[in-house]
Amino acid sequence: MRPRWRGLGNGLRVEAQEVLWKNQNIHVFVCGSFRVSGDPKGICHRKDSSGLVQYLETEVSDRGLDGVTVSSAGCLKLCDQGPVIVVYPEGHWYGKMDEDRIDQMLDALERDKPAEELLLS
């Protein structure tokens, strides 16, 4: 399959490649509170972290962030900060997440930066 940027001038081709790289391989994990037993326990699922997964997937799609994958994770061990989200490969950890804070996080991600004010220290 031909890359979409073929036929573009050199400058545009490089820019298109950079955009593709920038948005690739970003993995957003949302705590689903799952434990080894398989049962969800902890704060995050009680604060509707599964709803946040759906919200994130919709927002990622609406924003065209093709290289961003969203997954539900087991307990991320910071339960008192829940709902917790971690973004890899950067390793940015976010706490007390809701839809407004997810919007801020994604706005920052689109600028290739963390949402500093939401990061867990």
**Nearest residue (beta carbon) to ligand FES:** 42
CA gap 41, 33 in Å, rounded = 5
Site for ligand FES in 2-41 (CB under 6 A): 31, 33
> How far apart are CB 70 and ligand FES at their closest, in Å?
16
Residue 92, token pair as written in the block: 């940015």
Site for ligand FES in 71-100 (CB under 6 A): 75-79, 82, 84
Residue 12, token pair as written in the block: 């545009």
CA gap 101, 92 in Å, rounded = 14
- Pick the closer one to ligand FES by CB: 65 or 82: 82
